[in-house]
Amino acid sequence: MEEQNEESRDMETAAEALAADSVAETTPEPTPQAEAEPRQVPDEPAAVGETDHAADEAPAEATPAEPAGEPGAPAVAGEEPDDGRKWYVVHCYSGYENKVRHNLEQRIESMGMKDKIFDVVVPTEEEIEVRDGKRRTVERRVFPGYILVQMILSEESWYVVRNTPGVTGFVGMGNEPTPLRPEEVAQIVRRMEAEAPRVKVTYKAGQKVRIIDGPFNDFIGTVADLDMERAKVRVMVSFFGRETPVELDFLQVEKA
């Protein structure tokens, strides 16, 4: 009986050893090369906060900065000081514009108002007129009966201007003086600084005129129309019994 038991134990031991060998053959051992290679992990998209942070840390050289303007530089060269000064129209007696300007300038000096009233102007322009067949250049007032005053409006400055001899009042709505708009001031300045004098026209459409210059000198004709922009006049002249239109300069014609 004991011999059978030992034989049975030997057979069990042999079976266990055979099973172990079989497991060892079917399970390969990891190679050194597989252990050396790192495991590849697919890249994951960065979070929104991380992306913005990375963009903030980009080198400053990537986008060159534009040169900054000089501090305190005026927006428009030659603009008037922004202290509230404006141009106002003052009514005065016609024909006394220069006298009123002189009186006002004296009051500004004597009453110490140079820091409130800055300039007094009588707008004028040069004009050519033809009289008795002769041309002459005269200085004509742009706005007869008015002067322009540049000032900071206050009770004191209003009093100085309003009580100047010859002044009858400010131009405005009610008792409140109305300042000129910048474009109105610019238009007046252009008229005063014009290089070519204006031509004074003493005739109008339908009137008889005499031609005083050119091939039709001494002819009498009738004004058909006036072109103020080109300073031209079209005159109907009787030539060989037929009415013929002739275009002339303003200075080639005078009232008959």
Report the share of the chain in percent with pLDDT over 90: 41
Query: Residue 192's domain is classified under what CATH number?
Result: 3.30.70.940
| Dihedrals phi, psi of 203, to nearest 5 degrees | -130, 165
Nearest CA-CA partner of 118 in 141, 73, 87: 87
Question: Does the residue 193 lie in any domain?
Answer: yes
Question: Does the residue 53 lie in any domain?
Answer: no
Task: Decide: 164 and 91 in contact? Cβ < 8 Å.
Answer: no
Q: Are residues 193 and 229 in the same domain?
A: no
d(CA 153, CA 51): 60
Q: Is 68 exposed, middle or buried (0-12, 13-18, 19+ CB in 10 A)?
A: exposed
Q: Are residues 179 and 148 in the same domain?
A: yes
pTM over 0.85: no
Give per-residue pLDDT as tens, 33-88.
444 444 444 444 444 344 444 444 444 444 444 434 333 333 323 356 678 899 99
Question: Does the residue 31 lie in any domain?
Answer: no
| pLDDT above 50: residue 177 | yes
Range of the domain at 129: 86-199
* pLDDT confidence bin for 91, thresholds 50/70/90: very high
Q: How many domains does the chain have?
A: 2
Query: Residue 230's domain is classified under what CATH number?
Result: 2.30.30.30
